[in-house]
């Protein structure tokens, strides 16, 4: 009896010792819950200083001290939608040809010069604009300005070089011909942009062969004008010196009035349409669905951004949690908003097991129903807003990201307010406001594209999906299946 008591005491003593003294077993209280964040820091956006030349060429400059690399960007306010209707791909072929010869320089000489400056050069072609980006060591500013000015003012568009560019562009498209996401994304855009000028940006590899040297010259002469362009430089800059240099190299660039194609924004789908594209033997099925919403310059763009976050912006969002974590249908499920000048596209993507395509689509539509017809809990909205606000400065941390954001602001006419009032506009969104606007997005009547193995995918339809339009990978309509 006594011995037992003693043992108890010893055990108790050790327990006491463990719980108070040993750092291994004791738990500091602050570890139990995540710390409370400090208040949101104020965001001072990089200031952009503007100058302009008499020929209409705008100069934007951003000071970034202790940055020995300069980033030079030229935005041309014409993109693939400016290609003539019968010549899609012309904007891309023209832009990519500019690096293949200018003034006294051949394509390999240009390549050598870019490397010599420690340079990296790229061209990206959007439906609404074209962006030339060039970063280089700061000591080569003059050489860089000279090179870019020659490309934009005095390009040498030789047939042989154009053919090389054409072949490269062809293989870029050709190599992606079996990528299910690429196929589905393009088909969705073809449906949403049908008969709109944006449709020209989803051209096929075979149209490139029709473009001639004359077409390129004519596109260049029309659109590559100082009054249709803006140069943005970032780095350790002396603004007056920059203005002088830009004037020296670009001052003789002749202006010419240009007319941008205007068209009413694409109409959103107001009844659901299902399309199927066959990729024989595909292990997964890929679903892309979406609809057209308001353009980024519209005041009502902010609520959909919050909705997107709730629905599928991150792996914590509803689509991922439902389709992957809860149902086990999908490997991945997410949503996004792509911006254009005339509209935005709200789309949802999922890669699912092929035998559960119909159920997956039903679940996706259910999630859309629930964000449009039910009030979203306040906490979820606050989390979505917190993500958007917190993520904003992260998006502009590197030069590349900052300048492409700037290009969008300019090309989509977002105005300076977009920067300054971004936080405020997101903060102001309430559950009621979302509820009011969610129905207007018409997400519940989307265009739906499915890419996968026909034998597995199609025979499961009939309960909910009654009719499917069949297309090939290039977007050619092949026929319609009706399910009894």
Please give the torsion angle defined by the CA atoms of residues 186, 187, 192 and 193, in that order, rounded to the nearest 10 degrees: 60
Q: Return the residue matching tokens 């980006």.
A: 133
CA angle 106, 152, 405 (to 5 degrees): 120
Q: Return the residue matching tokens 């699912």.
A: 352
Long-range contacts of 138-145 (CB under 8 A, 24+ apart): 138/67, 138/68, 138/69, 138/70, 138/235, 138/236, 140/116, 141/70, 141/245, 142/245, 143/113, 143/116, 143/117, 144/70, 144/72, 144/117, 144/119, 145/72, 145/245, 145/246, 145/248, 145/249, 145/250
**Which residue among 261, 377, 390, 415 contacts another protein (CB under 8 A)?**
390
**Which residue among 1, 2, 3, 24 contacts another protein (CB under 8 A)?**
24
Reduced to 3 states (helix: H, G, I; strand: E, B; else coil), residue 229 is strand
Task: Based on the shown chain and the rule CB under 8 A, indicate whether residue 100 belongs to the binding site for another protein.
Answer: no
Binding mask 120-159 for another protein (x = CB under 8 A): x--------------xxx----------------------
Assess contact for 278 and 458: CB atoms under 8 A.
no
DSSP state, residue 67: -
359, two tokens: 């159920």
Cα–Cα separations (whole angstroms), residue 285 to 141, 188, 281, 311, 366 = 50, 15, 10, 20, 19
Residues 6+ apart with CB under 8 A from 407: 73, 75, 129, 131, 232
**Which residue among 10, 16, 18, 40 contacts another protein (CB under 8 A)?**
40
With CB under 8 A as the rule, give the number of residues binding another protein.
51
Least separation in angstroms between residue 103's CB and another protein is 19
| Backbone φ and ψ of 256, nearest 5° | -160, 130
CA angle 254, 200, 311 (to 5 degrees): 115
Considering only the stretches 93-101, 110-118, 169-177, 358-366, report the one whose residues sit in contact with another protein under the rule CB under 8 A. 110-118
Measured distance CA(32)–CA(26) in Å, rounded? 12
Of the pair 111, 469, the CB lying nearest another protein is at 111
Nearest Cα residue to 161 out of 153, 169, 150, 173: 169
Least separation in angstroms between residue 45's CB and another protein is 9
CB atoms within 10 A of CB 45: 14
Assess contact for 216 and 90: CB atoms under 8 A.
yes
Least separation in angstroms between residue 237's CB and another protein is 15
Of the pair 195, 325, the CB lying nearest another protein is at 325
Task: Based on the shown chain and the rule CB under 8 A, indicate whether residue 112 belongs to the binding site for another protein.
Answer: yes
Task: Based on the shown chain and the rule CB under 8 A, indicate whether residue 116 belongs to the binding site for another protein.
Answer: yes
Considering only the stretches 162-170, 245-253, 293-301, 385-393, report the one whose residues sit in contact with another protein under the rule CB under 8 A. 385-393
Task: Based on the shown chain and the rule CB under 8 A, indicate whether residue 328 belongs to the binding site for another protein.
Answer: no
Assess contact for 479 and 470: CB atoms under 8 A.
yes
Considering only the stretches 98-106, 118-126, 357-365, 450-458, report the one whose residues sit in contact with another protein under the rule CB under 8 A. 118-126
List strand residue ranges (DSSP E) for 424-476, in order.
447-452, 467-471
**Which residue among 124, 218, 386, 445 contacts another protein (CB under 8 A)?**
386
Of the pair 305, 468, the CB lying nearest another protein is at 305
Binding mask 285-324 for another protein (x = CB under 8 A): -----------------------------xxx--------
Of the pair 316, 427, the CB lying nearest another protein is at 316
Q: Return the residue matching tokens 């993500």.
A: 387
**Which residue among 37, 54, 264, 479 contacts another protein (CB under 8 A)?**
37
Task: Based on the shown chain and the rule CB under 8 A, indicate whether residue 281 belongs to the binding site for another protein.
Answer: no
Least separation in angstroms between residue 459's CB and another protein is 26
**Which residue among 117, 165, 184, 323 contacts another protein (CB under 8 A)?**
117
Task: Based on the shown chain and the rule CB under 8 A, indicate whether residue 42 belongs to the binding site for another protein.
Answer: yes
Task: Based on the shown chain and the rule CB under 8 A, indicate whether residue 111 belongs to the binding site for another protein.
Answer: yes
Of the pair 97, 201, the CB lying nearest another protein is at 97
Considering only the stretches 25-33, 142-150, 248-256, 441-449, report the one whose residues sit in contact with another protein under the rule CB under 8 A. 25-33
Nearest Cα residue to 94 out of 78, 107, 71, 109: 78
Of the pair 135, 404, the CB lying nearest another protein is at 135
Binding mask 52-71 for another protein (x = CB under 8 A): ------------x-xxxx--
Considering only the stretches 96-104, 115-123, 125-133, 158-166, report the one whose residues sit in contact with another protein under the rule CB under 8 A. 115-123
Task: Based on the shown chain and the rule CB under 8 A, indicate whether residue 48 belongs to the binding site for another protein.
Answer: no
283, two tokens: 């292990």
Task: Based on the shown chain and the rule CB under 8 A, indicate whether residue 406 belongs to the binding site for another protein.
Answer: no
Given the rule CB under 8 A, which residues bind another protein?
23-24, 27-28, 30-35, 37-43, 46, 64, 66-69, 108, 111-112, 115-120, 135-137, 314-316, 383, 386-394, 396-398
């Amino acid at each position: 009896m006594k011995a037992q008591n003693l043992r108890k005491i010893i055990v108790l003593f050790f327990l006491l010792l463990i719980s108070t003294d040993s750092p291994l077993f004791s738990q500091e209280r602050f570890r139990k819950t995540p710390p409370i964040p400090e208040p949101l820091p104020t965001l001072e956006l990089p200031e952009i200083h503007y100058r302009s030349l008499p020929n209409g060429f705008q100069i934007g400059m951003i000071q970034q001290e202790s940055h020995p690399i300069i980033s030079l960007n030229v935005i041309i306010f014409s993109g693939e939608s400016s290609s003539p209707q019968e010549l899609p791909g012309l904007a891309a072929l023209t832009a990519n040809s500019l690096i293949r010869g200018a003034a006294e320089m051949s394509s390999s000489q240009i390549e050598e010069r870019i490397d010599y400056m420690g340079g990296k050069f790229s061209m990206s072609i959007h439906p609404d604009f074209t962006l030339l980006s060039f970063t280089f060591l700061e000591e080569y500013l003059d050489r860089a300005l000279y090179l870019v000015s020659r490309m934009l003012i005095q390009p040498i568009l030789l047939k042989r070089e154009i053919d090389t560019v054409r072949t490269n562009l062809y293989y870029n498209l050709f190599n992606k011909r079996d990528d299910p996401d690429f196929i589905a994304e393009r088909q969705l855009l073809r449906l949403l942009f049908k008969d709109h000028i944006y449709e020209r940006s989803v051209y096929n590899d075979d149209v490139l062969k029709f473009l001639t040297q004359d077409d390129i010259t004519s596109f260049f002469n029309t659109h590559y004008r100082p009054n249709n362009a803006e140069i943005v430089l970032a780095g350790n800059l002396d603004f007056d010196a920059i203005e002088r240099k830009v004037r020296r190299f670009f001052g003789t660039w002749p202006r010419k009035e240009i007319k941008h194609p205007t068209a009413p924004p694409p109409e959103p789908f107001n009844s659901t349409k299902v399309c199927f594209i066959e990729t024989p033997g595909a292990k997964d099925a890929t679903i892309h669905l979406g609809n057209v919403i308001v353009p980024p310059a519209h005041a009502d763009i902010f609520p959909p951004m919050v909705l997107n976050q709730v629905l599928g912006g991150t792996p914590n969002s509803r689509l991922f949690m439902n389709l992957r974590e809860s149902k086990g249908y999908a490997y991945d499920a997410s949503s996004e908003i792509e911006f254009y000048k005339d509209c935005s596209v709200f789309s949802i993507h999922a890669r699912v097991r092929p035998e559960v395509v119909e159920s997956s689509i039903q679940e996706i539509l259910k999630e859309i129903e629930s964000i449009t017809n039910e009030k979203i809990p306040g906490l979820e909205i606050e989390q979505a807003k917190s993500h958007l606000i917190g993520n904003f400065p992260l998006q502009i941390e590197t030069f590349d990201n900052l300048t492409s954001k700037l290009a969008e602001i300019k090309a989509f006419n977002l105005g300076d307010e977009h920067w300054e009032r971004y936080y405020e506009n997101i903060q102001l969104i309430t559950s009621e406001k979302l509820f009011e606007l969610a129905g207007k997005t018409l997400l519940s009547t989307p265009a739906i594209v499915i890419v996968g193995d026909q034998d597995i995918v199609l025979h499961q339809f009939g309960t909910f999906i009654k009719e499917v339009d069949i297309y090939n990978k290039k977007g050619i309509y092949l026929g319609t299946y009706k399910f009894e």
